[in-house]
Structures are given as structure tokens and as C-alpha cells.
Amino acid sequence: TNCPTVGPDKKQMECIVGTGENYRGWRSVTVKSGKECQRWDLDEPHRHTYHPKRYKKKDLRGNYCRNPDNSTIGPWCFTTDPRPHLRHQECGIPQCSQGRLCARIYLCMRTFILK
């Protein structure tokens, strides 16, 4: 399968439920261009208002993909590419319902538990 493998051991499969607003995984690159995500606590290269101290319940740690605005595209991030047209992009994390091979049940359940 073409499932994204991410996490400290590079073996864990991840998925989202709905828009992925409660996604708390480790993905930190965009799907379209493969750009590394910008840290949420930094305003370089892109200035933004989604800072961890302001949105404590959104788990905006490090440079991990998140969906703090409940966007319909799913988890996304600001990129480390300073070009304006690459300001932010989606991370392409699959829905838990899209193929059981792409998601381990405990990670899908984790999404429900962290509401």
C-alpha cells in the first residue's frame, strides 16, 4: 500500500476522523510539495496567529501538522518555504475509513479519545 509511515519508529500508520481537528500525530511535511512544516511557535518565514500559547487545546507543538481552524482540507501546516504561494499546505493524512491497511486501530481510536 501507499500508506504514510510516520512517528518516532517510522512504523506507525496514521489516519484522521472527519476533518482531523483532533489529529495529534507526528507528520511534519506537506503532501503536495514535500515541504517541511514551520514550527507553530515561530513567525518565520510566515507570520501567523496560531501560536501554542494562544491555542493551548490545539496541541500546536513543534512543527507537526494540525488543523487548528477545523479546515475541510484536514491537517495542514505553514511551510518553511518563504514563497507566499507556499505559505501553508495540507499534509495529506488519510481518513481512517480509507482502507484498513493504512491505519492501525489504536491510532484511530486515539483521535476519538482526545476530543
Give 10-residue mean pLDDT values along the chain (115 residues): 50 80 95 96 97 96 97 97 95 79 47 43
The number of beta carbons lying within 10 Å of the beta carbon of residue 22 is 21
* Residue 114 covered by a domain: no
**Residues of the domain holding 50:** 24-98
Given this model, what pLDDT does residue 14 score? 83
* Residue 115 covered by a domain: no
* Residue 109 covered by a domain: no
Q: Computed over its alpha carbons, how large is the radius of gyration of the chain?
A: 14
Domain count, the chain: 1
* Residue 29 covered by a domain: yes
* Residue 6 covered by a domain: no
Given this model, what pLDDT does residue 114 score? 43
Query: CB within 8 A of 54, min separation 6: which ones?
Result: none
* Residue 93 covered by a domain: yes
Given this model, what pLDDT does residue 96 score? 87
CATH number assigned to the domain comprising residue 43: 2.40.20.10
Inter-residue contact 72 to 10 (CB < 8 Å): no
* Residue 34 covered by a domain: yes
Given this model, what pLDDT does residue 109 score? 45
Given this model, what pLDDT does residue 97 score? 78
Given this model, what pLDDT does residue 98 score? 60
